[in-house]
């Protein structure tokens, strides 16, 4: 006699299951037993038993205790010697021709501590009664518990499966909820053509009985909406499928689903909104006087499904996505099914899509750099009620895919340059142009945002007229304590100062001149053309910026050590004396003819204006900028107010903002 580790079998099989799985297995076995007996009055009764109420408080509060024991009673053929041996055989092939895989009964043991079988059956002209328990360790049938005895011929043929002491999960506390869930899981038995299932009764011990067969006939609970057929084809094969679409009323927290079946059994289910987002929410039925919510369940049947179900009947042998070893994948079948349901409910889905389209259009108005990609968006990847982030992710993906496609076309043209006609080349260049336009719109829109941030930062923050710290303004323009080797082009806003600074060779932001000299210029540019004045220089210029907090003018006091003009002179002296440390692998030539440009950015006040006059600065016509030439240092220095800096930046970008409508 061979032994089997029952608990090991259950533990090592990662079957998708729930507390309803053993109940469904028992009912299906009962249906098959009734079919084998070939009777017309077949009946299955499921009796639900609650655990005893634990306390007086539960009785007073009228709370319902959990269902922990279940009896499944049928008048099928029973546990004859052949059926008993099949039950005791691991992976029995006794029911193979009708889809039985020989594993389902192990689900009893996964969820219940004790399983008892009692069966009265007829064999060799006599009626016998067989009793046994499901083994706990090395036997499927516990041989010590097994008893077989003859019974009086007046005894009715029946089988009782007792599932005792639920050890994992919980059932709903209402019998009606359990009944409806069971119906949905075994519905294929009720809707298979040319087949009539036995009566299936669900009840609480001593309570009112519910006939599942009536649920199918009563459109209050479930309604057969439509039946469709489809065929999947490839070069060598074609497979036929049938789809039955049902309305499920008062669905609770469920969503519409596609259910693939095999041999009248549910095998897999997938939410329809994974393929079409608009299926995510419930639908509403207005046909009766009472408004009812419902979802859709599409049950799929076919020989291809029957032949390729796994032994545990919780999945299929064919692939989920790409059909490499089988002609058709699960996704193909599900997608085709959803397409069919979508056509049936196209009017209901249209109103939902229209709302989504409006939401996307609003997003594109706020993010115009994505407008050219609208026709490339995968609408089925955008949720039904999308957030801006949801739309942004899909748009970014579309942009990437388009760039990839264009690059592929370009490479193909380059590989066959002599053969490609000019029209084809122009088509590719046009596509490239669209992508670059989109990027430019995004870039200009971000400039608008940064200028708004700068403007808000310059505004007075509270009644004490305190402005934001100088560090914040500095960081908007360029991150502090970093250099241009650490900061990418898209991570700074030097264009606020001057467009030409975008092409700087090297700059330091709030970093010491050297280990010895701890003084830190706010911005120090090497090997760069002058910031605010054009012309050509005989040698590499050096540019220095000093920022002062808006509203501050104490730096002009004689006692101040933060005089920005004196700071710039000190930096120039140190650089001319070659007391600074040049960047690694970058030699900066500094000679007698090296020009220096200094810029002081601060708020203008009467006190600062007096200071500028004393420093021999001359005003420019706008009155917001002052300049000075310090010949002994070869230094051109300019004072610019924060307001003028913002105004100049807005003016330089105004044309672009207007063209974009922002």
- Over residues 499-522, the mean pLDDT reads 82
Domain boundaries, the chain: 1-210, 219-341, 350-440, 470-652
Rounded Cα–Cα distance for residues 98 and 102 (Å): 11
Rounded Cα distance between 212 and 207, Å, is 15
Whether the per-residue pLDDT at 202 is higher than 90: the answer is: yes
- CATH number for the domain formed by residue range(s) 470-652: 3.40.1350
DSSP notation for 344-357: HTHHHHHHHHHHHH
Cα separation, 614 vs 566, in Å, equals 13
Give buried/exposed letters for 118-129 (b at 16+ CB in 10 A, else e).
bbbbebeeebbb
Query: Which tops the pLDDT comparison, 538 or 77?
Result: 77
The C-alpha atoms of residue 200 and residue 211 are separated, in whole angstroms, by: 6
- CA distances, 498 to each of 64, 645, 657 (Å): 76, 9, 17
If pLDDT is split at 50, 70 and 90, which confidence band does 536 have? very low
Give the three-class secondary structure for 509: strand
d(CA 471, CA 480): 8
pLDDT at 23: 94
At residue 433, the pLDDT reads 61
CA 175: distance to chain centroid?
36
Q: Are 65 and 52 in contact (CB under 8 A)?
A: yes
* 574-607 burial code (b ≥16 CB/10 A, e <16): bbbeeebeebeeeebebeeebbbbbbbbbbbeee
Residue 140: phi and psi, rounded to 5, are -75, -50
List the beta strands (DSSP E) in 445-581.
482-483, 506-509, 523-526, 542-547
What is the maximal distance between C-alpha atoms in the chain?
Answer: 127
Please give the angle made by the CA atoms of 411, 415 and 421, to the nearest 5 degrees: 90
Q: Give me the DSSP letters along 430-471.
A: HHHHHHHHHHHHHHHHHHHHHHHHHHHHHS--STT-PPPPHH
Q: Which helix H or strand E contains 49, and what residues bound it?
A: strand 43-50
Please give the pLDDT value at position 537.
47
Kindly tell me if the per-residue pLDDT of 293 is higher than 80. yes
Interatomic CA distance for residues 120 and 26, integer angstroms: 17
Q: Which residue reads 């960081």 in tokens?
A: 475
Return the pLDDT at 468.
Answer: 56
Q: Which two tokens stand for residue 182?
A: 């069971």
Q: Which residues contact 493 (CB under 8 A, 6 or more apart)?
A: 447, 450, 476, 477, 478
How confident is residue 406, by pLDDT bands cut at 50, 70 and 90? low
Q: Provide, rounded to the nearest whole percent, the portion of the chain with pLDDT above 70.
A: 82
Cβ atoms of 434 and 372 within 8 Å: the answer is yes
For the record, the structure tokens of 365 come out as 């108005």
Structure tokens at 139: 């036997």
CB neighbour list of residue 215: distance below 8 Å, 6 or more residues apart: 179, 180, 183, 221, 222
> Does 219 have pLDDT greater than 80?
no
DSSP letter assigned to residue 134: B
- The two tokens of residue 220 are 């209050």
Report the sign of the C-alpha dihedral through residues 415, 416, 418, 424, in that order: negative
Q: Given this model, what pLDDT does residue 300 score?
A: 96
CA distance 598 to 606: 22
Q: 171 or 440: which carries more pLDDT confidence?
A: 171
Q: What is the mean pLDDT of residues 629-651?
A: 93
State the pTM of this model: 0.59
Q: Looking at the predicted structure, is the pLDDT value of residue 542 above 60?
A: yes
Strand pairing of 43-50 and 199-204? parallel
Q: Are 510 and 481 in contact (CB under 8 A)?
A: yes
Q: Would you say residue 67 has pLDDT above 50? A: yes
The Cα 160–Cα 45 span in angstroms is: 9
95 vs 80: CA distance, rounded Å: 14
Return the closest-CA partner of residue 300 out of 326, 268, 275, 272: 268
pLDDT score recorded for residue 117: 94
Whether 42 shows a pLDDT value over 80: the answer reads: yes
Q: How far apart are CA 107 and CA 587, in angstroms?
A: 76
Between 39 and 456, name the one with better pLDDT: 39
The per-residue pLDDT of the chain, averaged, comes to 83
Give the per-residue pLDDT at 614: 94
Tens digit of each residue's pLDDT (9 = 90 or more) over 445-469: 778 878 888 888 887 655 455 555 7
pLDDT tops 70 at residue 94 = no
User: What class is the 1-210 domain?
Assistant: alpha beta
Region at 194 (left for phi over 0; alpha for psi -120 to 50; beta for the rest): left
Residue-level pLDDT at 174: 93
Mean pLDDT value of segment 130-136: 88
Instruction: Decide if 406 contacts 432 (C-beta within 8 A).
Output: yes
Residue 131 phi, psi (nearest 5):
-130, 140
Q: What is the mean pLDDT of residues 70-84?
A: 93
């Amino acid at each position: 006699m061979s032994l089997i580790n029952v608990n090991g079998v259950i533990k090592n099989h990662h079957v998708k299951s729930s507390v309803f799985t053993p109940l469904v297995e028992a009912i299906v076995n009962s249906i098959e037993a009734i079919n084998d007996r070939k009777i017309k009055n077949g009946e299955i009764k499921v009796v639900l038993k609650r655990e005893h109420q634990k306390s007086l408080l539960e009785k007073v509060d009228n709370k319902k205790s959990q269902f922990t024991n279940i009896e499944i009673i049928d008048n099928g053929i029973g546990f004859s010697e052949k059926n008993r041996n099949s039950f005791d055989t691991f992976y029995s092939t006794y029911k193979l021709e009708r889809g039985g895989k020989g594993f389902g009964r192990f689900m009893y043991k996964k969820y219940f501590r004790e399983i008892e079988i009692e069966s009265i059956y007829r064999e060799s002209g006599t009626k016998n009664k067989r009793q046994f328990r499901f083994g706990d360790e090395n036997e499927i049938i516990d041989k010590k518990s097994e008893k077989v005895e003859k019974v009086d011929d007046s005894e009715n043929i029946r089988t009782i499966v007792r599932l005792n002491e639920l050890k994992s999960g919980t059932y709903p506390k209402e019998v009606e909820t359990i009944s409806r869930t069971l119906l949905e899981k075994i519905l294929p038995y009720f809707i298979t053509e040319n087949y009539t299932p036995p009566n299936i009764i669900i009840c609480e011990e001593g309570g009112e009985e519910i006939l599942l067969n009536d649920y199918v006939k009563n459109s209050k609970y479930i309604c057969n909406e439509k039946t469709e057929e489809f065929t999947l084809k490839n070069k060598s094969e074609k497979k036929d499928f049938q789809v039955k679409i049902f309305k499920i009323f008062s669905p609770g927290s469920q969503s519409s689903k596609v259910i693939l079946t095999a041999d009248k059994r549910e095998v897999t289910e997938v939410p329809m909104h994974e393929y079409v987002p608009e299926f995510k929410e419930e639908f509403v039925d207005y046909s009766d006087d009472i408004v009812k919510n419902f979802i859709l369940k599409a049950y799929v049947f076919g020989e291809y499904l029957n032949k390729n179900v796994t032994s545990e009947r919780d999945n299929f042998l064919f692939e989920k996505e790409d059909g490499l070893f089988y002609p058709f994948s699960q996704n193909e079948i599900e997608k085709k099914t959803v397409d069919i349901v979508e056509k049936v409910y196209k009017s209901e889905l249209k109103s939902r899509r229209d709302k989504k389209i409006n939401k996307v259009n609003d997003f594109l108005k706020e993010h115009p750099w994505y407008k050219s990609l609208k026709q490339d968006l995968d609408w089925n990847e955008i949720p039904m009620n999308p957030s801006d982030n949801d739309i942004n992710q899909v748009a970014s993906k579309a942009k990437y895919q388009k760039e990839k496609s264009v690059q592929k076309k370009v490479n193909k043209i380059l590989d066959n340059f002599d053969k490609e006609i000019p029209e084809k080349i122009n088509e590719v260049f046009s596509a490239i142009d669209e992508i670059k336009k989109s990027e430019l719109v995004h870039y200009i829109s971000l400039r608008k945002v940064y200028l708004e941030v700068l403007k808000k930062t310059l505004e007075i923050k509270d009644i004490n007229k305190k402005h934001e710290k100088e560090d914040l303004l500095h960081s908007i323009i360029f991150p502090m304590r970093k250099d241009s080797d650490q900061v990418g082009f898209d991570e700074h806003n030097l264009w606020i100062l001057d467009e030409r600074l975008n092409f700087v060779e090297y700059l330091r932001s709030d970093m010491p001149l050297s280990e010895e000299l701890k003084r830190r210029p706010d911005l120090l540019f090497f090997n760069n053309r002058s910031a605010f004045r054009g012309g050509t220089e005989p040698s590499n210029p050096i540019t220095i910026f000093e920022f002062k907090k808006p509203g501050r003018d104490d730096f002009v006091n004689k006692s101040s050590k933060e005089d920005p003009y004196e700071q710039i002179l000190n930096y120039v002296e140190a650089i001319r004396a070659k007391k600074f440390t040049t960047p690694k692998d970058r030699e900066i030539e500094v000679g007698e003819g090296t020009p220096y440009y200094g810029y002081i950015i601060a708020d203008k006040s009467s006190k600062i204006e007096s200071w500028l006059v004393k420093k021999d600065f001359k005003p420019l016509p706008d009155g917001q900028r002052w300049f000075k030439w310090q010949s002994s240092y070869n230094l051109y220095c300019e004072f610019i107010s924060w307001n003028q800096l913002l105004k100049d930046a807005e003016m330089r970008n105004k044309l672009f903002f207007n063209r974009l409508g922002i």
